[in-house]
Structure 1
Amino acid sequence: MRTTRRWATAGVAAALAVTAAGLVGCTAPGPARPAASAPHAPVRDSATPSPAPTRDPAEAFADQRLANMTLRQKVASLFMLHAGGTDGAALRGFSDRYGLGGLILMGDNIPASPEALAGQTAAMRASDPTMPPLIGIDEEGGDVTRLPWDGQPGGEELRGGSPDATRAAFSARAALLKQAGVSLNFGVVADMTADPSSFISDRVLGTDPAGAADRVAAAVAGERGSVLSTLKHFPGHGETDADSHLTVPTTTVSRAQWEARDLPPFRAGVDAGAEVVMFGHLVYSQVDAAPASLSPTWHRILRDEVGFHGITITDDLRMLQDTGLPQYQDAGANAVAAIAAGNTMVLMVQGADTDPAALIDAVVAAVGDGRIPVEQIDADARALIVLRHSMTKEE
Structure 2
Amino acid sequence: MSVAEQAASVVMGHIPVTDPAALHAYMQQGLGGFILMGSNIPATEPELRALTSALTVDESLPPLIAIDQEGGIVSRLPSDAFAASTTLKSAPVEDTTDAFTARASLVARAGVNVNFGTVADITADSASFIYGRALGTDPSSASERVTAATTAQEGFLASTLKHFPGHGAAEGDSHHAIPTTPMSKEQWRTADEPPFAAGIDAGASLLMFGHLAYTAVDPAPASMSAEWHRIAREELGFEGVMVTDDLGMLLSSGDPAYADPVANGVAAIAAGNDLVLMIAGSTPETAGRMVAGLVAAVESGDLPAERLADAATRVRELRLELAADTADWSVCEDCTPAG
Q: Letter of the 2:243 partner, please give it.
A: I
CA contact (8 A) 2:128 2:168 kept: yes
Question: Could you tell me how far apart the structure 1 residues matched to 2:73 and 2:285 are?
Answer: 28
CA contact (8 A) 2:269 2:311 kept: no
1:328-339 alignment, distance < 5 Å: 328-339=258-269
Give the CA deviation at 1:124.
1.7
Question: Could you tell me how far apart the structure 2 residues matched to 1:193 and 1:362 are?
Answer: 38
1:227-266 alignment, distance < 5 Å: 227-266=157-196
Q: Structure 2 residue aligned with 1:90, among 13, 16, 22? A: 22
CA contact (8 A) 2:8 2:30 kept: yes
Q: In structure 2, what is the equivalent of residue 216 of structure 1? A: 146
1:155-234 alignment, distance < 5 Å: 155-234=85-164
Q: In structure 2, what is the equivalent of residue 381 of structure 1? A: 312
Q: Structure 2 residue aligned with 1:75, among 7, 17, 34? A: 7
- Is 2:255 the partner of 1:318? no
Percentage identity across aligned positions?
Answer: 49
SS at match of 2:55: helix
- Is 2:51 the partner of 1:120? yes
CA contact (8 A) 1:200 1:241 kept: no
- Is 2:256 the partner of 1:364? no
Q: Letter of the 1:368 partner, please give it.
A: E
Question: Could you tell me how far apart the structure 1 residues matched to 2:189 and 2:23 are?
Answer: 41
Question: Could you tell me how far apart the structure 2 residues matched to 1:355 and 1:159 are?
Answer: 38
CA contact (8 A) 2:251 2:259 kept: yes
**Cα deviation code 1:214-236 (max 9, x no counterpart):** 00000001102211000000000
CA contact (8 A) 2:157 2:322 kept: no
Question: TM-score, normalized by length of structure 2?
Answer: 0.94
Question: Could you tell me how far apart the structure 2 residues matched to 1:117 and 1:231 are?
Answer: 25
Give the CA deviation at 1:153.
1.8
Give the CA deviation at 1:356.
2.3
Question: Could you tell me how far apart the structure 1 residues matched to 2:297 and 2:324 are?
Answer: 35
CA contact (8 A) 1:249 1:283 kept: yes
Question: Could you tell me how far apart the structure 2 residues matched to 1:326 and 1:378 are?
Answer: 29
Give the CA deviation at 1:353.
8.7
Q: Letter of the 2:3 partner, please give it.
A: L
Q: In structure 2, what is the equivalent of residue 107 of structure 1? A: 38
Cα RMSD after superposing both structures: 1.2
CA contact (8 A) 1:72 1:364 kept: yes
CA contact (8 A) 1:105 1:136 kept: yes
Give the CA deviation at 1:133.
0.9
Give the CA deviation at 1:354.
5.8
SS at match of 1:312: strand
Size of the alignment, in residue pairs? 325
Gaps of 5+ in 1: 1-68
Q: Letter of the 1:357 partner, please give it.
A: G
Q: In structure 2, what is the equivalent of residue 272 of structure 1? A: 202
Q: Letter of the 1:87 partner, please give it.
A: D
Q: In structure 1, what is the equivalent of residue 330 of structure 2? A: none
CA contact (8 A) 2:242 2:275 kept: yes
- Is 2:187 the partner of 1:281? no
Q: In structure 2, what is the equivalent of residue 19 of structure 1? A: none
Larger Rg computed on CA atoms: 1
Q: In structure 2, what is the equivalent of residue 346 of structure 1? A: 276
Question: Could you tell me how far apart the structure 1 residues matched to 2:214 and 2:314 are?
Answer: 29
CA contact (8 A) 1:198 1:240 kept: no
Give the CA deviation at 1:357.
2.2
**Cα deviation code 1:183-241 (max 9, x no counterpart):** 00000000001111211010000001000000000000110221100000000000133
**Cα deviation code 1:33-54 (max 9, x no counterpart):** xxxxxxxxxxxxxxxxxxxxxx
Give the CA deviation at 1:360.
1.4
Closer/same/farther in 2, CA of residues 321 and 207 from structure 1, 3 Å limit: same
Question: Could you tell me how far apart the structure 1 residues matched to 2:25 and 2:4 are?
Answer: 18
Q: In structure 2, what is the equivalent of residue 46 of structure 1? A: none
Question: Could you tell me how far apart the structure 2 residues matched to 1:162 and 1:370 are?
Answer: 52
CA contact (8 A) 1:331 1:354 kept: no
CA contact (8 A) 2:33 2:66 kept: yes
CA contact (8 A) 2:15 2:284 kept: no
